[in-house]
Structure 1
Amino acid sequence: MPQYILRRLLQLIPVFFGTTFLIYALVWAVPGDPFAGKCGQVACPPAYIEMMTAKFNLDDSIFVQYFKYLGNLFTGDWGETFNGVSVGELIGNAYPVTVRLALIAVAIEAIIGLSAGILTGLRGKGFLDNLVLMSTTFLISIPVFVTAIVLQIVLGSELGIIDASVSEDATIGELIVPGIALGSLSMAYIARLTRTSIAENRHADYVRTAVAKGQPRSRVVGVHLLRNSVIPVLTFIGTDIGALMGGAIVTEGVFNINGIGGLIFRGIQNREGATVTGVVVLLVMVYLLVSLIVDLLYAVLDPRIRYD
């Protein structure tokens, strides 16, 4: 196992450099004047443009810019916006809210999706199976922003159960409904994926052997069937964590949540390359870390998998 962890960490190094360089190059290679509109209604003076070009190393080649950016990043400097605001400070203020929102969405989609998938996979065809298939198809067919708007109107404006907009503090209770909206699509996929995996593996040889040995049904399902069937679901959830953090732009916009999604949107809108690059680089780190954790959990769930 230690050798496998070391090998996986070494594999992540070229992936990190490749993805971050691609992100940096794409963000700063967008055509147009990056300083347009930064001085109000008038064009920025040449002295200002010269100063900002030197500050952001825009007169260097893209490779020199990238390695200078990495050098600052490894020392904890995430850069500054054109207005002189620290990108690290912006991320530090917005990231905890998005993390809470993403974790709530993952918990909701995992609990409800797994439960629905296990019940329908074990019982087979029937009323519950048809109900889950219809409801998941319905959720898959509806865009996430539509689900968010419907929940906001029905639970907020019509019934008054929740506030239409989340407060600046964004407590756990306020993020439950936005988390449901954000995780609704993945919840439907998890339910279907779990159902298919359970239905396929419950007739496998190792399950029939466990039943023939007289083991209790709870042990057959919980120890043998579920642990093996949940592996593809775990892979989906692991990759979905990073996707939820980066894809929460619309959900955060609907519920007025000051998170990473809004930060990315404002950064793109204002052509703040340092902000967009810093946020996306952070998301890349999350993806790489989660993928490593998921790979290590495979051996825990399935004893047939060994990392020698």
Structure 2
Amino acid sequence: MGRYVLRRLVQLVPVFLGTTFLIYLLVWAIPGDPFAGKCGDRPCPDAYITRMRAEFHLDDNVVVQYARYLGNLVQGDFGQTFNGTSVGALIAAAYPVTVRLALVALLIEAVIGLAAGVLTGLRSGGYLDNLVLVSTLFLIAIPVFVTGYVLQTVLGLRLGLISPTVSPAAGFGELIVPGFVLGSLSMAYVARLTRTSIAENRRTDYVRTAVAKGLTPRRVVGVHLLRNSAIPVVTFLGVDLGSLMGGAIVTEGIFNIRGVGGLIFRSIQTKEGATVTGVVVLLVVVYLLMNLLVDVLYAVLDPRIRYD
């Protein structure tokens, strides 16, 4: 296992370099004036634009720019915005909030989705199965911003059960409803994926053998059926963590959460390429590490899988 993990870490290096280069290229090579609007309603003076382009090396070849950026990134320097603010400081202030929101969403979708999928997979065709199928289809069909607006209006403005907006501290308790909104779509997919996997594995030979040996239903489901059925679900959940962090723009906007989503949105509006690049690079790291973690969990869930 140790050799496999080490080999995978080495393999992540070219993947990281390739993805971050594409991100850098797409962010900095797009047409448009990055200094548009930086001087108010008037166009920026030519002397200012020349000085800024020289300071941020915008006239260099994009490969040279990326090499310089990568060298600074290795040292923990994410660069600066055009007004001199450290990108690392902006990320340090916004990233923990989005991480908490994504973890709450992931926990909600894993617990509720797995529970609903297991119950309906074991008792397919019943009332609960039809209820879950209709409910998940309902969540899939409704856009996330509609779900967020309805919950904010009903629970926050009308019933007063929650605060309509999240405080700057953004504690875990305040993030339960926004986390449900963010993870609602994935929760529906987890429930359906778990149900399908459970229903398929119920008819396999190893499950019938476990039943024939006289094992209790709890042991058959918990040890034999659920562990093997959880492999596709774990794959989905592992990749979904990065998606939740990168796709939280709408949810953070509805509940006024000062996280990465709002930071990216504002940076795109103001054409702050350094901030966009820094945030997306961190999301790439999350994706790569979560994929590695999922591959390691395969061997834990399925004893037939061994990494030599």
TM-score, normalization: structure 1? 0.99
Paired residue secondary structure (1:211): helix
Q: Per-residue CA shift, 1:88-124, capped at 9, x if unaligned?
A: 0000000010000000000000000000000000112
Residue 79 of structure 1: how far off its partner (Å): 0.4
Residue 191 of structure 1: how far off its partner (Å): 0.3
Q: Distance in 2 between matches of 1:125 and 1:221?
A: 19
Residue 46 of structure 1: how far off its partner (Å): 2.2
Q: Distance in 2 between matches of 1:164 and 1:137?
A: 27
Task: Give the aligned partner of residue 151 of structure 1.
Answer: 151
Q: Distance in 2 between matches of 1:279 and 1:157?
A: 33
Q: How does 1:158-197 map to 2 (within 5 A)?
A: 158-197=158-197
Question: In the alignment, is residue 299 of structure 1 matched against residue 299 of structure 2?
Answer: yes
Q: How does 1:265-280 map to 2 (within 5 A)?
A: 265-280=265-280
Residue 215 of structure 1: how far off its partner (Å): 1.2
For structure 2, the 5+ residue unaligned runs are none
Q: How does 1:59-70 map to 2 (within 5 A)?
A: 59-70=59-70
Q: Distance in 1 between matches of 2:260 and 2:271?
A: 16
Paired residue secondary structure (1:230): helix
Q: Distance in 1 between matches of 2:225 and 2:166?
A: 41
**Number of residue pairs aligned between Structure 1 and Structure 2:** 308
Residue 10 of structure 1: how far off its partner (Å): 1.7
Task: Give the aligned partner of residue 107 of structure 1.
Answer: 107
Q: Distance in 1 between matches of 2:9 and 2:75?
A: 20
For structure 1, the 5+ residue unaligned runs are none
Q: Distance in 2 between matches of 1:267 and 1:124?
A: 48
Q: What fraction of aligned residue pairs are identical, expressed as a percent?
A: 74
Paired residue secondary structure (2:151): helix
Deviates more, 1:9-18 or 1:274-283: 9-18
Q: How does 1:92-241 map to 2 (within 5 A)?
A: 92-241=92-241
Question: In the alignment, is residue 290 of structure 1 matched against residue 277 of structure 2?
Answer: no
Task: Give the aligned partner of residue 83 of structure 1.
Answer: 83
Q: Distance in 1 between matches of 2:285 and 2:48?
A: 34
Q: Distance in 2 between matches of 1:55 and 1:261?
A: 28
Residue 184 of structure 1: how far off its partner (Å): 0.4
RMSD between aligned alpha carbons? 0.7
Q: Distance in 2 between matches of 1:134 and 1:65?
A: 51
TM-score, normalization: structure 2? 0.99
Q: Distance in 2 between matches of 1:169 and 1:149?
A: 22
Q: Distance in 2 between matches of 1:220 and 1:122?
A: 12
Task: Give the aligned partner of residue 16 of structure 2.
Answer: 16
